[in-house]
Chain A
Amino acid sequence: MQDVADFAAMLTGARPQAMAALLRYFRDLDRAEDAFQEASLRAMRNWPEKGPPRDPVAWLVFVGRNAVVDGLRRQARQVALPAEETLSDLEDHETAVAARLDEADYRDDILRLMFICAHPELPPTQQVALALRIVSGLSVAEIAAAFLAKEKAVEQRITRAKRKVMDAAIPFEAPDAVERAQRLSAVAAMIYLIFNEGYSASGGDSHIRKGLCDEAIRLGRLVLRLYPSDPEIMGLLALMLLTHARMPARLDAHGEIVLLEEQDRSLWNRALIAEGLALVEKAARHRTAGTYQLQAAISALHASARTADETDWRGIALVYRRLEELQPSPVVRLNRAVAVFKADNAAQALELIEPLRDQLAGYFHFHGVHGALLKELGQHDAAREAFNRAIALARTPAEAQHIRQRLDELSEERARIAR
């Protein structure tokens, strides 16, 4: 006996492919949405009674298309099509639609649907809102709750985004290899935005935020199933899985963030880690490293250490160096320096971050790391100065507290030497 939740999951699973097919048919986002919506309503009435169809995607496309075409004809006072309930040979129609779906190379249609939401002309917040609405099928209320925004604002955001992408008129022809790669890369970035929206816990309902991470992972798996040999998509999915695996250990009982090295690793999700590690290795076989793969490789090295002490910091430092070559940025350099420091080379780490002094002058972590390095190298006065700067820039009480402990250690050290 299947219940409502099972049918809802069936609809969610079928949505990207069905929406992509409906969009190809109608060439209009709103009409495709109406068609899917109508088909879903009929599915929820029909399926519990008659049992779900063998091919839910084909059923939804067929029924949705007919519902909208029927509505249009009625408006034009033409003869209506028979309702799907009265069709005795729906199975045959389904098969025919399914065959056409295969022929039409639905992969590029789904990619196109997702690319619409990841269009470079859309600002990140509009991309995420549009993708959650169109591809994932979240309601405006659900998206508003995730963003801590008013429903009306989200509604407007989605409407504006739709208008912009419709104006951009993305062609329906199958893309060439270069265009396909560009679309994939934009879609990957959009999926990662959704993930980070869920992961960077800046308030809001934690359950909904976790849902966004799950959703991003679901979309990542979908894209990888469509394009199974793309190592950067493997890297993206691995990065999300390995990061999400640590979620259960990330907050303490008071909702404060627990640093990676202090997390209870027995809480990490082993199934997600197994999947993530396999993907990192699979991607590495292609020997074309990209930024998602390298970030995933760093997460993989953390995930493979049973205790914080067993962490392969030397390996992590090497991957950061590759990452910095591909994507130079002060924050990557800072993280690389931390890895070098943990791999027992404080002097080299200090050398790495010295040039960042101006760029990261307003960044809490820079001063925290700077202070820790100076302290390690015995430059206590300079260390104290750096820690004081860090405290002034701390965003949470936990961050400030962490630095205060370091300052206390410095004071104890001084007292010990004075004795």
Chain B
Amino acid sequence: MLYAVLCYHDEAEVDSWSAEQDAAVVAKRGAVAKERLRPEQMGPVLRLVPTSAATTIRSSGKGELVLDGPFAETKEQLLGLYVVECDTLDEAIELAREMKRGEGGAFEVRPLRVFRQGALPAEVEVG
């Protein structure tokens, strides 16, 4: 079975970490993963840039609306994600807007600052 581990934190606090504190947290987590997992058990690792760089796409009566800022509702839950490579943010936003068309909910587009592919098989379908 594959699992996603999603990391939530108070951004104002993480913003206040020194570079050393930040590196120590990353190293601590890495050490645990290394100890508990065989290399081939580790899948993609992502680190997102702060939410100030986020854009959210929502439905309105007039179609899909592009709003500045992160997804910040509690009545919807995180159900999935795509990682895509685009030349520009506009391209990523337009892609997300097209994919979402006709659906409710919200898509948030957020640049990545770290992406590691990991060593999982290229495709695993569960159920």
Chain A contact residues, CB within 8 Å of chain B: 5-6, 9-10, 12-14, 16-17, 56, 218, 220-222, 224-225, 228-229, 234, 237, 270-271, 274-275, 277-279, 281-282, 285
Please give, as numbers and ranges, the residues of chain B lying within 8 Å of A277 by CB-CB distance: 89, 111
B95 on the A face (CB < 8 A): no
B112→A281 contact, CB < 8 A: no
Query: Contacts A9-B21, A285-B90: A279 and B13 contacting too (C-beta < 8 A)?
Result: no
Closest to A55 in B: B10
| Minimum distance in angstroms from A225 CB to a CB of chain B | 6
| Minimum distance in angstroms from B113 CB to a CB of chain A | 4
B12→A14 contact, CB < 8 A: yes
B interface secondary structure, majority: mixed
**A-B pairs with lowest CB-CB distance, top 3:** A228-B69, A13-B12, A13-B13
B55 on the A face (CB < 8 A): yes
Q: Which of B11, B50, B51 has the most chain A CB atoms closer than 10 A to its own CB? A: B50
B64-81 to A contact mask, C-beta < 8 Å, 1/0: 001111100000000000
Seed contacts A218-B16, A274-B111; 8 additional CB < 8 Å A-B pairs: A13-B10, A13-B15, A228-B68, A228-B69, A271-B49, A275-B111, A278-B111, A285-B90
| CB contact between A274 and one of B18, B68, B88, B113 (< 8 Å): that residue | B113
Closest to B53 in A: A278
B18→A285 contact, CB < 8 A: no
Q: How far is the CA of A84 from the CA of B87 in the complex (A)?
A: 54
Please give, as numbers and ranges, the residues of chain B lying within 8 Å of A16 by CB-CB distance: 12
A interface secondary structure, majority: helix
| Minimum distance in angstroms from A282 CB to a CB of chain B | 6
| CB contact between A282 and one of B15, B55, B112 (< 8 Å): that residue | B55
Query: Contacts A271-B113, A275-B111: A282 and B68 contacting too (C-beta < 8 A)?
Result: yes
Query: Contacts A12-B16, A281-B89: A225 and B113 contacting too (C-beta < 8 A)?
Result: no
Query: Contacts A281-B88, A281-B89, A282-B68: A9 and B114 contacting too (C-beta < 8 A)?
Result: no
A5→B21 contact, CB < 8 A: yes
Closest to B90 in A: A281
B50→A221 contact, CB < 8 A: yes
| Minimum distance in angstroms from B43 CB to a CB of chain A | 21
Please give, as numbers and ranges, the residues of chain A lying within 8 Å of B113 by CB-CB distance: 270-271, 274-275
Q: How far is the CA of A224 from the CA of B55 in the complex (A)?
A: 12
Q: How far is the CA of A278 from the CA of B50 in the complex (A)?
A: 11
Closest to B24 in A: A5
Q: How far is the CA of A160 from the CA of B3 in the complex (A)?
A: 57
Q: How far is the CA of A102 from the CA of B111 in the complex (A)?
A: 29
Please give, as numbers and ranges, the residues of chain B lying within 8 Å of A237 by CB-CB distance: 52
Q: How far is the CA of A318 from the CA of B75 in the complex (A)?
A: 46
Closest to A8 in B: B16
B112→A274 contact, CB < 8 A: yes
Closest to B114 in A: A271
Please give, as numbers and ranges, the residues of chain B lying within 8 Å of A218 by CB-CB distance: 15-16
| Minimum distance in angstroms from A413 CB to a CB of chain B | 43
Q: How far is the CA of A225 from the CA of B49 in the complex (A)?
A: 13
Closest to B51 in A: A225
Q: Which of B21, B90, B111 has the most chain A CB atoms closer than 10 A to its own CB? A: B111
| Minimum distance in angstroms from B125 CB to a CB of chain A | 31
A sample of 5 cross-chain residue pairs with beta-carbon separation below 8 angstroms, ordered by A number, consists of A5-B18, A222-B12, A228-B70, A275-B53, A278-B89
| CB contact between B53 and one of A13, A270, A279 (< 8 Å): that residue | A279
| Minimum distance in angstroms from B108 CB to a CB of chain A | 12
Closest to A231 in B: B68
A228→B52 contact, CB < 8 A: yes
Query: Contacts A218-B16, A274-B111, A278-B89: A229 and B68 contacting too (C-beta < 8 A)?
Result: yes
